[in-house]
Chain A
Amino acid sequence: MDGRASILIIEDDRKLSAALVSGIEGAGYEVKAASSAEEGFFLVHRLQPNLILLDLTLPQRNGLDILQQLREEGLDVRVLILTSHNTIEDRVAGLKTGADDYMGKPFSFPELIARIEALLRRVLPSSPGRVTIGDLELDSAARSACRDGQKLDLTAREFDLLFYLSKNSGRTVSRDMLARDVWQETSRYTPIDNVIDVQMARLRKKVDDPFRVKLLQTIRGIGFCLQEP
């Protein structure tokens, strides 16, 4: 590895592929794209990427076939499946065949980046006991939060939300990620977005409103981000 992890995208939709290439490069990875199974195979062997983003519905050949062959060859590569076939059965089939992770289209880009990072991290991240962002301090053991030395009076859900945002500090967190990781919702529907928005507004009232520096930002159309401005 030359410092930067390399990622191969096997995806036949050129627009999506181009957007992914540019986005993932922007996140600091080396990216190549293949638009067919054959090209994908060729590039897998030539580039030896660390991670493959694999679309399941490719022309000529099913993505699962490719995955199976890669696993039979015993290549050491992480595979993240991207597909519009997103039922539980599809997921199970994908993971059984040897995928490391699975994302249904449409997915949120911040979440994709988060998953890529998680997959490329060789060791499990030690869950930080204390997180500090600017003058905001969180203690996961005591489940307490202070800002500027002042203790914030948070509900359990608000603390979970803030803690999740702070762990992903500096990165945009989408509503999908919050629904899944904070609310533990398996399926997505309108009410949960309302709940997230309202919850976020209340959290902001406690974390940001009394202070001059605003840490919690809404990235319109994408999600939220906790960081020092």
Chain B
Amino acid sequence: MSLGARWNIRTRLTAWYVSVLAILLLIFAVIVFTFQYVTLTRQIVHDEMQDAVTVEGLLYFDNSDQLHLRQDYYSRPQSHLIVDRWMEVLDLNGVVLYRSDNLDDQSLGGPLTPGEGDSSSNERIVRLRDGSHILAISHIHGMNGRDLVIRLGYSLKPLRDRMWQFVWLLGIALLVTILLASITGQWIANKAMRPIGLMAARAEGITANNLHDRLAVTNPRDELGALAAVFNHLLERLEQSFLQLQHFTGDAAHELRTPLASLRTIGEVALSEPRSPEQYRDAISSILEETQRLYHTIDSLLLLARAETGTSEPNSDAIALAPLIDEVTNMLSVLAEEKSIQLLLQGEMQGSLAVYGERALLRIALINVLHNAIKFSPPGGIIRITLAKDNTEALITIADQGPGLREDELDSVFKRFYRGCENSSNPGNGLGLSIVKLIVERLGGSARFDSAVENGASAVLRLPYNRRN
């Protein structure tokens, strides 16, 4: 763990790679070694059996019933040296009839075991006095009516020497391979990680001032390309919201300037020459009215900020739509009555259609839309408020009979500080509909004006009703 934390990914990758390779190679070496050892041992046993059969033909009893091994078998004297065998011959009573000179009176396996050389060849390793190991076999042989047990063995030294050499060879090969693997592994890891380093360096250079910079995508189809693309996408969105924020701050400052300018002018004009108390009173009242406008703009801006960022834990209640629409309509009905506007509630007003979200925010959205409709409705007109639903969304439509919207206004009315051709008697702050849009979008829905409507404007709020967000 501490190592993992201290090493960089490159080294860790290489270390992993090399360790896995080393373990695999080791397993491989053990298997090869075992296989080789077993094969060679079998080969020796096989040779010994053959040799035993050969020896059978070379044994003979002399006149004094002494057992001898014929030595004139070899065509050339040097060949004698090749056969490096240890041998003894016993009868079934365990009496040693023959023992090769190199055994030097030692037994090649002690007393006879029952059935030795008969049912099996009894391969065994015998340790001689001088410490050398002999791989011995036994073979039973009938001769002159007597059963003889021929014990025959070869030294294991040549085999062991060869196996040691083999181990050395394997070991060296293993080390060299691991060394090479580490070097190439590190190289490959370096190569693989370099784009990440470049990306990091590039990303580090990106600040609020050059948010338009992007990471280079070399191959959009590989993982690093995908990472860079994701990162670029993030930058894109960041830049968007940053620009939006910049514009918004600029717009907001501008919007706050206007009421400030009137405040200042009213004050300056009031103080420019002596006036009657009535005039002073009038000026101060104007100033207070203007501050009200300022308050409202600031409240709206705060509301926008709140809807935009959201609190850490959104107050997700189930909001029953019909009662909310009733409540909003009731609250604003006095404004409608004043203009003799009829508010008609239609659709699923009896149902229990509900969406999830912060009720207070959705209420503000509905109030803003309806207030807007009342504002633009001609006196004596009708405003239809319809609640409907499709498979996934609740639809709230608020249709008025006002002047309606031009095609190019359908989207821009939702922009911040946008003011259309509104009647000057009812100046808004140009934030109402952008608040609506933001709130509805936060609930996972959408707000727009229906372009298909011929007369008046028809605002459509769509809210998903099965979603808990």
Contact = CB atoms under 8 A, between A and B. Distances in A.
Interface residues of B, number: 30
Contacts of B306: 87
A202 B335 CA distance: 11
Contacts of A189: 296, 299-300, 303, 364, 367-368
A60 interface: no
A195 interface: yes
Contact of A190 (B281, B360, B429): B429
Q: In terms of DSSP, what is the predominant structure of the interface of chain B? A: helix
B415 interface: no
A192 B281 CA distance: 25
Contacts of A186: 360
8 contacts: A187-B303, A189-B299, A190-B300, A190-B428, A190-B429, A191-B371, A198-B338, A221-B285
A220 B360 contact: no
What 5 A-B pairs have minimum CB-CB distances, sorted nearest first?
A: A221-B288, A220-B285, A221-B285, A191-B371, A221-B289
Interface of B: 281-282, 284-289, 291-292, 295-296, 299-300, 303, 306, 331-332, 334-335, 338, 360, 364, 367-368, 371, 426, 428-429, 432
Contact of B367 (A157, A175, A191, A198): A191
B147 to A, nearest CB: 107
A157 B337 CA distance: 14
A220 B296 contact: no
A221 B287 contact: yes
Contacts of A198: 334-335, 338
Interface string A188-218: 1111111100110110000000000000000
A87 B334 CA distance: 30
Nearest to B286: A221
Given A187-B364, A190-B428, A220 B289 contact: yes
A87 B368 CA distance: 21
Contacts of A193: 292, 296
Nearest to A190: B296
Contacts of A157: 334
A105 to B, nearest CB: 10
Interface of A: 87, 106, 157, 175, 183, 186-195, 198-199, 201-202, 219-222
Nearest to A86: B302
A186 B288 CA distance: 22
A192 B367 CA distance: 9
Given A189-B364, A191-B368, A194-B371, A199 B429 contact: no
Among A186, A190, A194, chain B packs the most CB atoms within 10 A around the CB of A190
Contacts of A187: 299, 303, 360, 364
A224 B300 CA distance: 24
A192 B384 CA distance: 21
A189 B361 CA distance: 12
B79 to A, nearest CB: 106
Nearest to A155: B334
Nearest to B284: A221
B372 to A, nearest CB: 9
Given A187-B303, A198-B334, A106 B360 contact: no
Contact of A183 (B288, B296, B331): B331
B199 to A, nearest CB: 39
